[in-house]
Structure 1
Amino acid sequence: MRYTIIGQTVPAVECELNAGESMFTQSGGMIWQTQGFTMTTNARGGVGRSLGRLFTGESLFMANYRADIAGARIAFGATVPGSIVPVNISNGGLICQKGAFLCAEQTVDLKAVFTKKILSGLFGGEGFILQQLFGNGMAFLEVDGDMVERYLNPGEILKVDTGNVVAFEPTVQYEIETVKGLGNIFFGGEGLFLTKLTGPGKIILQTQNFNDFASKILALAPKR
C-alpha cells in the first residue's frame, strides 16, 4: 500500500493498493475510489468490540474495501479542518481519543479500552472509553487543527488542556489533574481539569479542540 496526503484545510489520504490488499474505515469515511474495488460491511471484531467502538464515537459497522486490480486508488477524508496523521502500528500500537480513527490496513485492529481511573474517564475530554490500535501496518488518524508530536522521557510530565490529546503510546501514563486555586477555576477560562501525561513514550497533540470551537459557535447562534 502506498499513500499520499492531499489538501491542507480539510485533507484526505489517497491510498494505492495492490490486488488483494484491503483497507477499512468507519462508516462514511470514503470520499472517492477508482474502479476495481469490492466493498463489504461488517461488525469488525464481533458484537462486543462493535459496541465498544460505538461508545468511543466510531460507527458500529466498518466498511471494508478490497482492491481487485493492481493500482486501484481510494481516498478517505477528514470531517473537520485539520490534519491527517499516518502512524505505523507495528511499532507498538497507540491509545487514541474517541473519533480520532480514520482508516487502516486490514492487518491493523482496534478495540475499546477503559481509562484506569474513573476521574480521568469522566473529565478527561476523551471520554471514559478510549480506543487502542494494535497489530501491524499503517493507520491514519484525524487531528483537529495542526499536529504536534512529542516524546516524553521516563518520568517527564506534560500537562495538556483537556481535549487536545489525540493519541499516546501505551507506555505513557494518563490521568487528570484538577486546576488549583478558586480564582483560576472560576476566572481562568481553561476549565477545571488538565490532562497529565507522564513518560516514557510518544504523544500526539492537536492545536484545536473542535468540540470547544463548535460550542463557541453555538453560543453565538441566535436564540428563538
Structure 2
Amino acid sequence: MEVNEQGLLVFKSTGWQKFEVLYPDEPKYNVTGADSQVVTVQLAGAESVYAEPGTMMYMSENIASNTECGGCFQRCCSGESCCTMVMENTQEELGFVGLTPNFPSKVIPVDLSSDNVKGSLVCKAGSYMAHYGECEIETDFDFNPCKACCGGAGFVRQGLKGTGTVFLNSTGTIMQKVLAEGEKIVVDTNCVLAWAEEVEMELQSAGGCCAMALGGEGVFNTVFVGPGLVMVTSMNPHQYQVAVAPEPK
C-alpha cells in the first residue's frame, strides 16, 4: 500500500502520535510482538524488576523470585493484586526476565524521569504491569464526584511516582500527545489511559440533549489541559472483553 503523504500531513497536524517504543541509548528492555506483547528486561547483578503476579513468562537461572505484600489496601483499591513479584539477579553475570500481561494487550514503557512526565504519572486503575528502578505505586483519589463518575478514570486511580521505568498494559491502539502549557484536548471518556500529574483533567458536555442521548458518546467528554503527556487507547480492556464475549444463547 502506498503511503499517502497528504494523509500523513493531516495526522501530523493533530499533534498525536501512535505510541512506539523509543529505546534509550543503553536499553535495558525489549518489547516483542504486535499484541499480547512480551517485554524482556535485562538485569545486572543485584538489580530487580517488580511485576504483577502471573506476568512472568521466562527468566534466566540466576534470577530469584520473591513476593512483597506492602500497601495491600491501596493496591487492591487501584485494581492491582495485593502482592508484587520481585525478581532479583542474585549473581554478577547479566540475567533477564520476560514478562507478559495477564490479558491480551500491549506493553507500554513510560520513563517517569522524562520531561513530559516529571516523575509522576496518573493512570486508570489496573493499568500497571511492572517496573524497574525507583517507582512508588500509590493510590490517587478523585473526590470530585462529577469527574470521578463521568471522567472515565473512576474514584480511584493509580499514581506512579519516581525516576524509574514503568510498564503499563492496555488493549487497543495506544496514542500519545504532549500538551503545551494551557493547550486543551477533548477525549472520549472510554479512551482515557494515563496522563502526567501536572496535566489537569476537566469535563465538558458531549453536546446538546439530543447529542448526549443519541450521539453514542455519553453525557460528558474528558478534557485535558497541559502541559504534559496524555495517553489514550482506542479500546479499553472492558470494551475489548464485551466485544469478544460470546453472545448469550
In the superposition, the TM-score normalised over structure 2's length comes to 0.81
Match of 2:75 in 1: 53
Single out whichever of 120-129 and 166-175 deviates more from structure 2.
Answer: 120-129
Matched, 1:79 2:106: no
Equivalent pair of 1:117/1:175 in contact (CA under 8 Å): no
How far does residue 54 in structure 1 lie from its aligned partner after superposition?
Answer: 0.8
SS for the counterpart of 2:50 is strand
Matched, 1:204 2:227: no
Structure 1 gap ranges (5+): none
**Runs ≥4 residues deviating over 4 A:** none
Matched, 1:221 2:247: yes
Task: Work out the CA distance in 1 between the residues paired with 2:143 and 2:187.
Answer: 18
How far does residue 110 in structure 1 lie from its aligned partner after superposition?
Answer: 1.1
Matched, 1:35 2:64: no
SS for the counterpart of 2:216 is coil
Task: Work out the CA distance in 1 between the residues paired with 2:105 and 2:173.
Answer: 6
Task: Work out the CA distance in 1 between the residues paired with 2:133 and 2:121.
Answer: 16
- Structure 1 residues 85-104: aligned runs within 5 Å: 85-91=108-114, 92=118, 93-104=120-131
How far does residue 129 in structure 1 lie from its aligned partner after superposition?
Answer: 0.8
Letter in 1 for 2:60: T
Equivalent pair of 2:171/2:240 in contact (CA under 8 Å): no
How far does residue 106 in structure 1 lie from its aligned partner after superposition?
Answer: 4.6
- Structure 1 residues 10-159: aligned runs within 5 Å: 10-44=36-70, 49-69=71-91, 70-91=93-114, 92=118, 93-159=120-186
In the superposition, the TM-score normalised over structure 1's length comes to 0.90
Task: Work out the CA distance in 1 between the residues paired with 2:206 and 2:232.
Answer: 20
Equivalent pair of 1:100/1:141 in contact (CA under 8 Å): yes
Task: Work out the CA distance in 1 between the residues paired with 2:158 and 2:108.
Answer: 16
Task: Work out the CA distance in 1 between the residues paired with 2:87 and 2:226.
Answer: 37
Task: Work out the CA distance in 1 between the residues paired with 2:243 and 2:106.
Answer: 21
Letter in 2 for 1:75: G
How far does residue 163 in structure 1 lie from its aligned partner after superposition?
Answer: 2.6
Residue identity over aligned pairs, in percent, reads 25
Letter in 1 for 2:85: A
Structure 2 gap ranges (5+): 1-26
- Root mean square deviation, CA, Å: 1.8
Cα distance per residue 1:147-173 (max 9 Å; x no partner): 211011122111111131211111100
Task: Work out the CA distance in 2 between the residues paired with 1:76 and 1:193.
Answer: 36
